[in-house]
């Protein structure tokens, strides 16, 4: 039997609310690391990635309201315009929930190509609010969108591996 087939047919453990909360909390903490220089421009949005992961894998558990709250926390932490992250995360969650079946239809290595437009839409919303308030857009800001899409694969594999059962399924 093909080893890839058995790996794809493996069941994941149900995601508990505490596991979802912990993963979002860790993602917010990663966003709050002190980035400088070019790393600041290319910084991936870990909170957006984890939020999109849960919106595509558990759309009935994490939704637009949770995205708004996570965005408010990100706004307070970044001391950005109040509601700027919240609006972009809400747009991202809406797209993730709307397209969750399409994204899951693809294998994990193919998913970053499907996730990139959603992240681009979220980053575009953030940049549009920034442009309305400050009158300019920093185009290197969109590097973070690319690095976020590239991190989708390892982040998705990590969260799925944490949800796999540790017991041998053939044991009684």
Q: What is the pLDDT along the chain (172 residues), one digit of tens a residue?
A: 444 434 444 566 778 889 999 999 999 999 888 888 777 778 899 999 999 999 999 999 999 999 999 999 998 888 778 888 999 999 999 999 999 999 989 988 899 999 999 999 999 998 898 888 888 787 777 888 999 999 999 999 999 888 876 665 566 5
Query: What pTM did the predictor assign?
Result: 0.85
- What number of other Cβ atoms are within 10 A of residue 130's Cβ? 17
Beta bridge partners of 12: 164
Give the separation between CA 140 and CA 47, rounded to whole angstroms.
19
Q: Which two tokens stand for residue 34?
A: 């002190």
Where do the structural domains in the chain lie, given as residue ranges? 16-163
């Amino acid at each position: 039997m093909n080893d890839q087939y058995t790996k794809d047919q493996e069941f994941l453990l149900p995601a508990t609310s505490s596991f979802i909360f912990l993963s979002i909390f860790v993602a917010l903490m990663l966003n709050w690391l002190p980035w400088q220089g070019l790393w600041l421009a290319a910084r991936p949005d870990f909170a957006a990635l984890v939020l999109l992961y849960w919106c595509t894998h558990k759309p009935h558990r994490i939704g637009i309201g949770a995205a708004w709250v996570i965005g408010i926390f990100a706004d307070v932490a970044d001391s950005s315009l109040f509601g700027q992250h919240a609006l972009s995360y809400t747009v991202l969650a809406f797209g993730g929930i709307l397209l969750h079946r399409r994204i899951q239809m693809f294998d994990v290595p193919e998913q970053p190509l499907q996730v990139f437009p959603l992240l681009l839409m979220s980053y575009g919303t953030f940049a549009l609010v920034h442009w309305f308030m400050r009158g300019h857009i920093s185009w290197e800001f969109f590097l973070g969108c690319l690095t976020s899409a590239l991190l989708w694969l390892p982040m998705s594999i990590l969260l799925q591996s944490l949800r796999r059962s540790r017991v041998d399924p053939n044991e009684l």
